[in-house]
A and B are shown apart, each in its own frame.
Chain A
């Protein structure tokens, strides 16, 4: 009897997928690999000028060739772009994409850990490759993002990911950095009613804490070089910073804090990228002189002080770029990382200029994160990560026609598009 049951059961299990398959209508488009020949396009390479009419050959995930007079190899899928424009895929240098699904539902938030010192925590591990927000994001031409952990002094290790792939390893785009929240002299929100002295006291305390930790990490690194040390993952992670193997992503915003952070980076001799940097315009020349690259944003934000001109957040990246700072732009968003091109557009309008703004979402971040050999421009040998648009990708009116990430042709659909398709003309309408 028992045996009979087992047989029946396995039969059912075997039949189930078939049954289910029988009920499915239609097809779900998937990212598609192959050899693609994109032709008749304006090519904005970012690093090598603009080709008015040319072609891009995509093979084995890479840009096999770029030029004005290419011919399609046999077997290539030819896509005639007929006057459309090719741009490198856009890079958002700071997001929570993949780590947070629904903001107010804690069960879906994987970007904050317990404790203030957890530099070894890996954002990459917790990225959900099937987050609904990923397809929503990539059809905008944002192909690559930094996924940031948050909270505490050292919340963890951020990772650069491409928005295609079924495992974090497939998505990994070649950069990791340890996030550090620099002690802040700013108020956290309108409800923070500490006195200035109290804020300073708290910041000093946090700074001392960080310095103690860095000293410990140095000790750990020194001992480690000589002998086996005890299992201490936090110090092991920070030791890599001390040794100069890992970059720190230092979140710092208020002008006075930025000056402190510059001093600190120079004293500690660590590899650093400043992130946030909302008041960077106030001390732009100092940041430029220190040669520390900056990830800033969102542009679509408020001025940090009541007395500041209303457009300071829009103008900040342009003012820093003018002073000679290498600037990348971020949205700091999760579900609306798709607004990255618009953030760049505002930066462009308020002083940065279109060309520099485009760099701030392509080649600049690629260089800052040390992946310029793969990303950030349309060049032979780089990863085939690009977008095709019917106009300026920063304009809302422009349609993004195609997106390629790592050579995969991305289906230009997602749940939001499918809802549009279903509900534009609902049936039944008002009456059944």
Chain B
């Protein structure tokens, strides 16, 4: 009999897990939520099979999570749920090139003070490439549904952390009920950021650039040492299994790319410089100001996910008062702002013109803004074909998954976005999403009466309930701080406590003057620092479960702060 090696043992375990997963569907479902069949036929639809390739009166047959046929004369099996799709448009499900959909920030991942700041551990430095994003995934997260509703079926997700938070994975956004089941491609990228470790090395880009070079060089040496030992251990110092350096091996061997979250021109340039010096395959993720880097991006064969977030266009305010200098100055200034705004919203078009295939990154965007932002990009020169490619085929290719994702073709995974009209038309609404073979249906709203602006339906006096537990973070010049805010309803108004995680432990301060009006939340903290009391004024706006605002420390500056309300508590 063949002995179980460790490898085959784990294979067996995986098989067991898979069977177990399948058996979920064999159980009865007292809530009546599970589907009757896993075979679906979308009949007589307009299928946009790939960007620029449209098929009419076409049926798409899905079986066990796979597209089994696409055509005009598809045999519909008897176990299929048939969906009349005569007036519907079927697209490949969208792929988000870089996001943290469903990823939860681990507790206490704030600013760390190393035991010996001059000789920090990897973890203290924020160098944890051996961590997998899958360790941080919450498969119940409402974000999965949020992004699915916007048309996305797949996302390349990355972990929270600092300089090297860990590896990213490509996951399905279907409600799988288990993390393992979500994974389409595990740990396929090395995620990198220009986020310093606060009071610990590396605290900013200076240290991060240097540390990258050091880590890379030592990974090469360690790889050499390992091979030397593997070839013949006799007389060779035993190599230490350094998990951090080992995480670099696939990158050294060009099997795994580095995804840099590089929004700004300077960050992106620095990532490109590291790529040039070290030679790893690079993906620039979340790029917002990349238009001047096109030559270097092309020359280095760097892949790109452009940010889906766009600058908010504000109407130019009228000059106040009677001062003529104000009016003329404002005019000149607005001209430059307008000019700059154009560069940002035309970034995608600029990349298209340069012949660079790019995908999109949703990491800084709101799912609800997708269509609005795509329209802005298209109004500024992006073609429909390129926009669709950036949502489907390009990210599939960049992530090395073209044979599974990106088009509506037989054999590919059943990831579909089905809309009531051509997606890029204004009236189009998503009727169905199919993610990994699971079907989601959405209510179609009667065309809304035209309102001014972009349909922000919140009445200005609509209130929200601030009570609950919020996780907050704030990037200060000395690094990110984070912690919790717990707000409780009191007899009149609210009481609250803000807990800040510091290297020395966490400290709590009372929140005072908590005010919630309209979509605004504000409060005050009085913090005692070295015998002096500093008043922090925090104020900002709440949208859904997200709070974004500013923390004003008085003479020591003001910093952005953002928080997410924890629904579980």
Contact = CB atoms under 8 A, between A and B. Distances in A.
A and B touch in the complex (CB under 8 A): yes
Contacts of B323: 255, 259, 283, 286
A198 B559 contact: no
Nearest to A196: B317
B321 A259 contact: yes
Nearest to B552: A194
B321 A195 contact: no
Contacts of A256: 320, 326
A7 to B, nearest CB: 49
A21 interface: no
Interface in B525-569: 537, 539, 550, 552, 555-560
Given A191-B477, A193-B550, A282 B325 contact: yes
- Interface footprint category on A: 10 to 19
Nearest to B556: A191
A183 B567 CA distance: 41
B333 A192 contact: no
Contacts of A286: 323
A189 interface: yes
Contacts of B552: 194, 198, 202
B558 A194 contact: yes
Contacts of A192: 557-558
Contacts of A194: 550, 552, 558
B325 A191 contact: no
A23 interface: no
B559 A193 contact: yes
A230 interface: no
A48 interface: no
Interface in A282-322: 282-283, 286, 307
Contacts of B326: 255-256
B326 to A, nearest CB: 8
Nearest to A281: B325
A198 B325 contact: no
Nearest to B476: A191
A198 B560 contact: no
B557 A193 contact: yes
A255 B323 CA distance: 10
A283 B560 contact: no
Nearest to A193: B558
Contacts of B332: 307
Interface in A189-218: 189, 191-195, 198, 202
Given A191-B477, A194-B552, A198-B539, A307 B558 contact: no
Nearest to B555: A188
Interface in B440-498: 477
Interface string B289-302: 00000000000000
Contacts of A193: 550, 557-560
Interface in A246-275: 255-256, 259
B237 to A, nearest CB: 49
A421 to B, nearest CB: 42
Given A193-B550, A255-B325, A198 B557 contact: no
Contacts of B477: 191
Interface string B319-350: 01101011000001100100000000000000
B550 A198 contact: yes
Contacts of A283: 323, 325
Contacts of B550: 193-195, 198
Nearest to A205: B537
B333 A191 contact: no
Contacts of A195: 550
A194 B522 CA distance: 14
A195 B336 CA distance: 20
Contacts of A282: 325
A259 B560 CA distance: 30
Interface in B230-267: none
Interface string A1-39: 000000000000000000000000000000000000000
Nearest to A195: B550
Interface string A365-384: 00000000000000000000
A183 B137 CA distance: 48
Contacts of B333: 307
Contacts of B537: 198, 202
A189 B557 contact: yes
A202 B537 CA distance: 10
Contacts of B325: 255, 282-283
A192 B551 CA distance: 10
Interface string A156-195: 0000000000000000000000000000000011011111
Nearest to A282: B325
Contacts of B555: 188
A286 B336 CA distance: 28
A282 B539 CA distance: 32
A195 B550 CA distance: 8
B321 A198 contact: no
B518 to A, nearest CB: 13
A135 to B, nearest CB: 33
Contacts of A188: 555, 557
Interface string A85-123: 000000000000000000000000000000000000000
A282 B336 CA distance: 20
A309 to B, nearest CB: 12
B332 to A, nearest CB: 8
Contacts of B336: 307
A193 B550 CA distance: 8
B447 to A, nearest CB: 35
Interface of A: 188-189, 191-195, 198, 202, 255-256, 259, 282-283, 286, 307
Given A198-B537, A198-B558, A282-B325, 18 more contacts: A188-B555, A191-B477, A191-B557, A192-B557, A192-B558, A193-B550, A193-B558, A193-B560, A198-B539, A198-B552, A202-B537, A255-B323, A256-B320, A256-B326, A283-B323, A307-B332, A307-B333, A307-B336
6 smallest CB-CB distances across A and B, nearest first, come from: A191-B557, A194-B558, A193-B558, A282-B325, A194-B552, A192-B558
30 contacts: A189-B557, A191-B477, A191-B556, A191-B557, A191-B558, A192-B557, A193-B550, A193-B557, A193-B559, A194-B550, A194-B552, A194-B558, A195-B550, A198-B537, A198-B539, A198-B550, A198-B552, A198-B558, A202-B552, A255-B323, A255-B325, A255-B326, A259-B321, A259-B323, A282-B325, A283-B323, A283-B325, A307-B332, A307-B333, A307-B336
